[in-house]
Amino acid sequence: MGDARRGPRAIWAVGGGKGGTGKTLLASNMAVSLAKRGFRVLAVDADVGGSNLHTCLGVERPRYGLGSFFRANHNDLKEFMEDTGVANLWMVSGTLDFPVRGPTTRDMNRLRNAIRRADFDYVILDIGSGTSQTTMELFLMAGVGIYVLVPEPTSIENTYRFLKEALYWSLVKSTRKKSVKAALFKAFHTPSVEEFQAIPQFLRQLSRTEPLVSRFLRSHVDSFRARLVLNQVRRYEDVEIGFSVRSAVHKYFGLRVDYSGYVSFDERVIQCVRARKSLLQTYPDSNAAKCIENLTQRLLEEGQMAFEFF
């Protein structure tokens, strides 16, 4: 597959809240969409213990998985790749048989290094749900971090929680000063939601005692980017939720968040999941498939959704 040291053109990480947001469906079909455009794509199921990317890609019994990669102590993913049957698209399955404790720090470092060396145009990571450190590190390593939500209150709350934790880990890893790390922990992990202080306000207060550190952290916040994708949209009012979440995230966290697009609710999505088939291959003319194609193109162009796309 060429010089493995070249590395991918870009890494896209797809995250979401608890089951039901459709992050795996989106990750798998964006991978298909990129492959259809002629790019060489590797889809990696990095949701250790909850893997089902292979199901959405129609791979019934993966021979290998990340558990095999971790146990083999290898530094290259090449031996653990599966042919998906889609031209230009390979995958690395997750694992359901790895110990409950999950991968070690060393395991995850090897995985991230292997992903960075993968000889593909695009690597799509289907990361776990929740806000564990492992999930955050995979999300932050990607050049494009995509968060999938649905138009429900619990999903919206999970979005704020996820992005807040992602920003926290990003800032903590940017500084070695223990006093700053302690201040960040206190600022981000308040006993109650009511006590949470908006991050721009926190940085202004920090500038009084640590002006250089405050300026550095502010530049880090300014460079942090995430993309929102709204799934299971049924009506126009649902579309507007993405814009509202984007505004709230900017207000409280100071983050630049792109609202990259939405995917319409479509019964054929459920049919594809049950049939273990890719939506873009089975129903390419469906509304949901067209939304994913448009979304993929928008991500390639680094654009945001506007009202006229509805």
Predicted pLDDT of residue 20: 74
pLDDT tens digits for range 29-63: 999 999 999 999 999 998 876 678 888 888 887 88
* Segment 205-254, tens digit of pLDDT: 989 988 998 999 999 999 998 999 999 999 989 999 999 999 999 999 99
pLDDT at 308: 43
- Answer yes or no: is pLDDT of 140 > 50: yes
Q: Average pLDDT of 3-23?
A: 80
* Residue 230 near residue 262, CB atoms below 8 Å: yes
pLDDT the model gives residue 309:
40
Give the chain's mean pLDDT: 88
Sketch out the chain's domains with CATH numbers.
Answer: 10-147+235-243+266-309 (3.40.50.300)
DSSP string computed for 188-256: HS-SSGGGPPPHHHHHHHHHHH-HHHHHHHHHHHHH-EEEEEEEEE-SHHHHHHHHHHHHHHHHHH--E
Residues of the chain with pLDDT > 90, as a percent, come to 57
Reported as a pLDDT band with limits 50, 70 and 90, residue 3 is very low
Distance CA 37, CA 209 (A): 52
pLDDT score for 293 = 95
* 5 band by pLDDT with thresholds 50, 70 and 90: very low
More confident residue, 74 or 1: 74
Q: What is the pLDDT of residue 66?
A: 85
Per-residue confidence (pLDDT) for residue 123, from 0 to 100: 97
- Strand, helix or coil at 137? helix
- Nearest C-alpha neighbor of 170 from the set 247, 110, 228, 222: 222
Q: How many angstroms separate the CA atoms of 205 and 197, rounded? A: 11
Structure tokens at 41: 């794509």
Query: Any idea which of 58-72, 173-187, 223-237, 287-301 has the lowest mean pLDDT?
Result: 58-72
pLDDT band at 305 (very low <50, low <70, confident <90, very high): low
| pLDDT over threshold 60, residue 2 | no
Instruction: Judge whether residue 101 has pLDDT over 90.
Output: no
Distance of alpha carbon 121 from the chain centroid = 17
25 or 61: whose pLDDT is higher?
A: 25
DSSP calls for 148-184: EE-SSHHHHHHHHHHHHHHHHHHHHTT---HHHHHHH
- Give the pLDDT score at 49: 66
- Is the sign of the CA dihedral 70, 56, 4, 114 positive or negative? negative
What is the mean predicted confidence (pLDDT) over 114-128? Answer: 94
